[in-house]
Amino acid sequence: MSRPPALQAQTCGPWEMKERLGTGGFGNVIRWHNKETGEQVAIKQCRQELSPRNRDRWALEIQIMKRLNHPNVVAARDVPEGMQKLAPNDLPLLAMEYCQGGDLRKYLNQLENCCGLREEAILILLSDIASALRYLHENRIIHRDLKPENIVLQQGEQRLIHKIIDLGYAKELDQGSLCTSFVGTLQYLAPELLEQQKYTVTVDYWSFGTLAFECITGFRPFLPNWQPVQWHTKVRQKSELDIVVSEDLSGEVKFSSSLPCPNNLNSVLAGKLEKWLQLMLMWHPRQRGTDPVYGPNGCFKALDDILNLKLLHVLNMVTGTVHTYPVTEEETLQTVKARIQSDTGIPEQDQELLQEAGLALFTQKIVTGCSRDSEQPCTVAVPLEYIFLPLFPGESKRTGVGSC
């Protein structure tokens, strides 16, 4: 693949052209820096050879971007004064906020993420992208090209924020809420788009599910190296619950409804996200995203339930095993000790629950009040982590310090 030509340095008043951030189907995205104020913007400019259809699509992207306002959708900015004159053609420029963290693909390609992102990073990403898609769908917009390259990262006050970009393939729903045009990146496209069939917002569910699976495991769920025709023929054979189609070393294709290991999720989250992925990756679009409790398009509410879980992680200092328990707002440590006994066989009276600093926890204390972050509101559940030391008959009490 040939590289795009090198940028020629340009200025526009106090604005200086700095670097090419990306090259897409329409043209280039360039970072500009204001040397007087320090402000930075990303300017998207179109190629000269755009077809009439793509010119219309470009105009639609600008129209959509200017009316959207959501923290997880990249924001439009005013084009700096005089910069439109530097455009290579008569098409308008699109100015957007600059997100210095790069795209999600760059993050996934880091060596430490080869088997998936850290648990906390996964939960934050799922929360951000679900919020963005909800907003787009409520505004009758289908993205149609959701993939790691179209998610950028911005450092917020407390954490990284994920933002959806590139609405060049987005489509506003018509009165029938069905579309037939074929766009997007093949590896993340829903089957009905590959088949050029009518489709709805559920195409974004498939892309979101594929993206989520990749962030959890480090690879895409369905035969990622196969060509589209062969891919479609084989993957359509999966059952509704299958979320993995893989090829082993002998060339045999395997189907599975379980999340593969290794990944960085605790057992509770792994089980719940496994079931959620089964909703998102259903082959048939009419069933996709339908939750048994919340009904059609209930996948976002189902994800809310997962993200709002309060989880207690208990480390057995003798075996090194971590046990994870969902807890309620009013649950006490006494009931947790009963659950620990059920899982480990250690009697309640022989358990000692300790905090990070080695302080003993009283059994009548409310579990959620023991967290270091219990006074801080959160949009993604804060793990509540303790350490317990089993006490066997005849042994003296031991103390220890563990990390939350």
Q: Which residues contact 184 (CB under 8 A, 6 or more apart)?
A: 144, 145, 169, 193, 207
Let me know the angle formed at the C-alpha of 267 by 265 and 269, rounded to the nearest 5 degrees: 60
Q: Could you tell me the sign of the dihedral formed by the alpha carbons of 131, 136, 140, 143, in that order?
A: negative
CA-based nearest residue to 226, from 196, 258, 194, 265: 194
CA torsion angle for 32, 34, 39, 44 (degrees, to 10)? -20
Q: Which residues contact 252 (CB under 8 A, 6 or more apart)?
A: none
Annotated active-site residue 78? The verdict is no
R_g of the chain computed on alpha carbons: 25
Answer for the pair 50, 61: CB distance below 8 angstroms, yes or no. Answer: no
Q: Which residues contact 226 (CB under 8 A, 6 or more apart)?
A: 234, 247
Answer for the pair 336, 367: CB distance below 8 angstroms, yes or no. Answer: yes
**Cα separation values, 313 from 58, 178, 319, 341, Å:** 49, 45, 14, 15
Answer for the pair 255, 283: CB distance below 8 angstroms, yes or no. Answer: no
Q: Which residues contact 294 (CB under 8 A, 6 or more apart)?
A: 301, 302
Residue 384 DSSP label: E
Catalytic residue among 103, 128, 145, 204: 145
Q: Which residues contact 312 (CB under 8 A, 6 or more apart)?
A: 324, 325, 326, 327, 336, 367, 383, 384, 385, 386
**Cα separation values, 112 from 101, 105, 142, 204, Å:** 17, 13, 33, 28
Q: Are strands 351-354 and 40-46 parallel, antiparallel or unpaired?
A: unpaired
In which residue are the tokens 């009697």 written?
347
Burial 385-396 (b: 16+ CB within 10 A, else e): bbbbbbbeeeee
Q: Mind telling me the catalytic residues?
A: 145
